[in-house]
Amino acid sequence: MKITAVELRRVELPLVAPFRTSFGTQTSREVLLVRVVTPEAEGWGECVAFSEPLYSSEYIEAAADMLRRFLIPAVTAHPDPDPYRIASVTAPFKGHRMAKAALETAVLDAELRGRGVPLARALGATRDRVPAGVSVGIMNSIPDLLDTVRSYLDEGYLRIKLKIEPGWDLAPVRAVREHFGDDVLLQVDANAAYRLADARQLAKLDPFDLLLIEQPLGEEDLREHAELARLLRTPICLDESITSAKVAVDALLLGATSVINIKPGRVGGYLEAKRIHDVCQAHGVPVWCGGMLETGIGRAANVALAALPGFTLPGDTSASGRYYATDITTPFVLRDGHIEVPNAPGIGVEPRLDILDDLTTSAEVIKT
C-alpha cells in the first residue's frame, strides 16, 4: 500500500439546537477530516476532538499539528503503511489518540475500499442495523426537557440519555420517569461532573431504575469509581476513563465499572475499539457505542462498530438530523428505532463534495 497524499480539511456545521453538557454549550461543531489518497482508493477519517480541551486534553488545533508534524510523516515514511500496523508506527508519540484514530481510520477506509470490503464485515459485524439511542442535553427547564424527550420518543428512539450535573440530576430524572413511565430505557451521563463526596446525591437516582450512570467522576478516578460502585445500585459505566483495552481490563478488575461506552476516537481507533469489545465480551460485560457529534463520515464507522455482537445496549448512534440539518454525507435516517449499517466498501459512505466545500473553513494537502 502506497500513500501519495493526505489532506487535512476543517469544516464547521451548525447544530440544529444548542447542545449543553456539564462542560459547556455548543451551537456548532468544528470538525477535522483526514483524507488519505492511494493509487487504488481514497479513504476518510474524522477526528472527534472538540475545538477546546474540555471533554479531554485533546483539541482540534493540536490534533492538526500532531498529524501534520509527526503522525503523517511517520506513517507515510513506512515502507508498507498497512492499517493494522499504524498503531505500532505511531506508538512512540504519546497520547493524541483522537488524531491517531482519524489517520488510522482514513488509511483503513482506503485499504478496505481498494479490496471492496465493508468496514462492518472487516470488524466482524453480525447485524445489518443497530438500535439507536439519543443524548439529551441539559435544558433550561423541566418543561423544555419533557417536550424534547417526547419528540425523540415519538421519532422512535429506543433509549434516552440525559446529561446531568450538580443541580440538574434528580429533578430531570424524576420528571422523565413520572411522565413517560418505567418502560422507557433511561440512562444519565455526568461527563465527570461529580466527586466521590457526592455519592449520597447520586444514590438518590437508584429508585428510578436507570440502565446506568455514565462517567460520574473524573477521568483518572478508577479507584474512586470502584468505591462509588459499592455505594450505588445503579450500574456505573465508564467513558472518558477508558482509553485502551488495557485500561478497560484494569477498570473491570477493580470493580470500577460494569458497563463500558466505547468511543473509537477516544481509544485510538476502530481496531483498538474492537479489542475493547472483545475483552468485554469475554468478561460478559455489555458495551455500547458512544457519540461525539460526528458527521456522516464518523457516524458511518460508528454504526459499523456498533453492529458487533457485544454491543447489546443502544448507543448514541442517532440519525444525522439529531444534530445537523445538512450532513456532509447522505444522511442517516431512523427507521423503527434503528440505523442501517452501511454495506458499501470501507466506511460505506461518500462525502457530498458540494456541501463539504461550502462548509470547509481550511484545507491543506500534504504530498508524500
Residues forming the active site: 163, 263
- Structure letter (DSSP) for residue 39: S
Locus of grid cell 424534547: 148
Burial class (CB in 10 A: 0-12, 13-18, 19+), 143: exposed
Locus of grid cell 488495557: 246
How far apart are the C-alpha atoms of 346 and 271, rounded to whole Å?
A: 14
- Structure letter (DSSP) for residue 308: S
| DSSP annotation string for 204-234 | TTGGG--S-EE--S-TT-HHHHHHHHHH-SS
Locus of grid cell 508524500: 368
Closest CA to 133 of 158, 150, 154, 162: 158
Radius of gyration over every alpha carbon of the chain, rounded to an integer in angstroms? 20
Locus of grid cell 490534533: 63
**Could you give the strand order of the β-sheet that contains 159-163, starting from the edge strand earlier in sequence?**
133-136, 159-163, 185-189, 213-214, 236-238, 259-262, 287-289
Render the burial of 87-116: b for 16+ CB within 10 Å, e for the rest: bebbeeeeebbbbbbbbbbbbbbbbbbbee
Cβ pair 110, 132 in contact under 8 A: no
Q: Which grid cell sits at 21?
A: 453538557
Q: How far is CA 368 from CA 2, 7, 71, 149, in A?
A: 9, 11, 13, 49
How far apart are the C-alpha atoms of 61 and 264, rounded to whole Å?
A: 20
How far apart are the C-alpha atoms of 17 and 21, rounded to whole Å?
A: 13
